[in-house]
Amino acid sequence: MEYIGYGWKVTREEAIEKVGIEAVERVEAENCEWNSGGGKMFGEHDTTQTWNSRISIKNNEEYEAIYAIYFVEDEEFIDSDGDPIEDLSNIYWKISHYVIY
């Protein structure tokens, strides 16, 4: 676990240990949204976009929410003709890590 300023960055296994499998599966099932605060995380010329889903956690004495964090490259939003894709379900969504706070 690593504290990153607004919560604890954790793996899936650590998240399950801290908040339970039900919360982890719920946040994984949520639609994710673009995170305006996550742009250019990896440098000035970075093409990685940050997306996340979030749920509130009830009945947990230590944590109140969990985020699933996705990093997606700009190229994934463009089709083979160079046009923006319209159906975001065609993007490869892979969770990078979780944040609990």
In tens, the pLDDT along 89-99 reads: 877 788 999 99
List pLDDT tens digits, range 16-56.
Answer: 999 999 999 999 999 888 876 555 455 555 677 888 999 99
Tell whether the torsion through CA atoms of 48, 26, 91 and 10 is positive or negative.
Answer: positive
The mean pLDDT value of the chain amounts to 84
Supply the range of the domain harboring residue 13. Answer: 2-100
How many domains in the chain?
Answer: 1
pLDDT at 6 over 60: yes
**What is the residue-wise DSSP string for 9-74?**
EE-HHHHHHHH-HHHHHHHHHSPPEE-GGGTTTT-TT--EEEEEEEEE--S-SS--EEEEEEEEEG
Which residues are CB-contacts of 19 (< 8 A; sequence separation ≥ 6)?
57, 60, 63, 66, 100
**C-alpha distances out from residue 6 to 3, 13, 46, 61, 71, Å:** 7, 20, 22, 18, 18
